[in-house]
């Protein structure tokens, strides 16, 4: 079966002021697959994934050339609402960022913002999202507690649940385990593998083993360019480009 393209970047250039951070990057993100972006710090991989839900336009003096599609929709098109894109393309950051509210309110917030008032529906959605994010068992008896009381790993799963509640389609993970211990990291990785059944996932990670473990496809970025893109098992066993090989074997220097 051919992979279905969920998102597509087409000849993307991106500038911070006069500095070009991305150079002519084209890439397909497949539905129900995990795509990992790897590369040294400053290579443009985070900038790149932030384009998929228009997060970069919140940064002043930036400019984008090229097109990004979500299904057939060009997400930067004139009539497209950025908030709607960010609902459909959720994001989980390096540092968990729960709202300073209760666990329940963290999840229900997005629904209420979207105009949903049906209490029973909201409760059901909260439970469903927390279950999908594999944290329900740990929080079900204290949904009224502040989310800030949770551990880092739990907060990160709560943030994932928050994306799921608003019926997101794509989840962007930007170094989701960078501040987590190995056990929490394993839980997040397992969760990513579980979530790809229903969502399309893009993950930026510095942890090469993590990219190898969780992703189906991997793109290697260097100095704003995508050097190589391919199936993860090929990238990690027989990369085609010597620059990819140097990076993943740690010979860079």
Partner 1 sequence: MERHFDQELSDLKKQLLKMGTMVETSIFESVEALKELNVERAIKVISDDKAIDDLENQIDECCLDLLALQQPMAVDLRFITMSMNIATDLERIADLSVDIAQRVMDLVGKPLLKPLIDIPKLANIAKQMSKDALDAFVNKDAELAGSVILRDTEADKLRNLVQKELIEDYMLKDTSTVTRAVPLLLIARHLERICDHATNIAEDIIYFVKADVVKHHPERLEGNN
Summarize as ranges the residues that interact with partner 1 (CB under 8 A): 208-209, 212, 236-239, 244-245, 248-253
- For partner 1, which is the closer residue by CB, 161 or 235? 235
> How many beta carbons lie within 10 A of that of residue 165, not counting itself?
24
Chain centroid offset of residue 82 CA:
16
Nearest to 224 by CA among 59, 60, 48: 48
Helix (H) or strand (E) holding 230: strand 225-231
> How many beta carbons lie within 10 A of that of residue 40, not counting itself?
13
Tokens of 197: 């059944």
- For partner 1, which is the closer residue by CB, 161 or 212? 212
- For partner 1, which is the closer residue by CB, 224 or 239? 239
Tokens of 184: 């929490």
Residue 115 CB, shortest distance to partner 1, in Å, is 48
CB 219 within 8 A of CB 229: yes
CB 97 within 8 A of CB 152: no
Residue 214 CB, shortest distance to partner 1, in Å, is 15
Residue 206 CB, shortest distance to partner 1, in Å, is 14
Residue 248 CB, shortest distance to partner 1, in Å, is 4
Residue 72 CB, shortest distance to partner 1, in Å, is 37
- For partner 1, which is the closer residue by CB, 129 or 210? 210
Residue 189 CB, shortest distance to partner 1, in Å, is 15
Alpha-carbon distance 230 to 91, whole Å? 23
Residue 54 CB, shortest distance to partner 1, in Å, is 34
- For partner 1, which is the closer residue by CB, 26 or 209? 209
- For partner 1, which is the closer residue by CB, 90 or 239? 239
- The residues with which 12 forms a beta bridge, in sequence order, are 25
> How many beta carbons lie within 10 A of that of residue 100, not counting itself?
9
- For partner 1, which is the closer residue by CB, 100 or 253? 253
Listed in sequence order, the DSSP H helices in the chain are: 45-50, 82-88, 103-113, 119-132, 136-139, 152-165, 182-195, 208-214, 232-237, 242-248
């Amino acid at each position: 079966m051919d992979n279905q393209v969920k998102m597509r970047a087409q000849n993307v250039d991106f500038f911070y002021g006069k500095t070009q951070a991305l150079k002519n990057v084209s890439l397909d993100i497949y539905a129900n697959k995990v795509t990992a972006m790897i590369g040294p710090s400053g290579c443009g991989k985070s900038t790149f994934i932030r384009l998929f839900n228009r997060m970069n336009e919140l940064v002043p003096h930036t400019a984008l050339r090229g097109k990004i599609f979500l299904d057939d929709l060009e997400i930067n098109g004139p009539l497209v609402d950025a908030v709607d894109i960010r609902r459909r393309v959720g994001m989980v950051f390096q540092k968990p960022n729960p709202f300073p509210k209760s666990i329940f309110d963290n999840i229900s917030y997005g629904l209420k913002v979207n105009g949903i008032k049906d209490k029973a529906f909201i409760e059901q959605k909260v439970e469903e999202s927390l279950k999908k994010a594999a944290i329900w068992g740990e929080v079900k008896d204290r949904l009224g507690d502040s989310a800030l009381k949770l551990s880092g790993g739990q907060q990160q799963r709560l943030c994932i649940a928050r994306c799921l509640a608003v019926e997101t389609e794509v989840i962007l993970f930007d170094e989701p385990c960078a501040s987590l211990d190995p056990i929490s990291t394993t839980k997040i990785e397992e969760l990513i593998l579980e979530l790809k059944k229903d969502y399309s996932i893009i993950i930026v990670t510095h942890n090469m083993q993590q990219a190898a473990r969780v992703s189906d496809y991997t793109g290697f970025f260097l100095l704003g360019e995508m050097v190589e893109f391919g199936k993860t098992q090929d990238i990690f066993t027989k990369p085609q480009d010597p620059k990819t090989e140097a990076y993943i074997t740690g010979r860079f220097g």
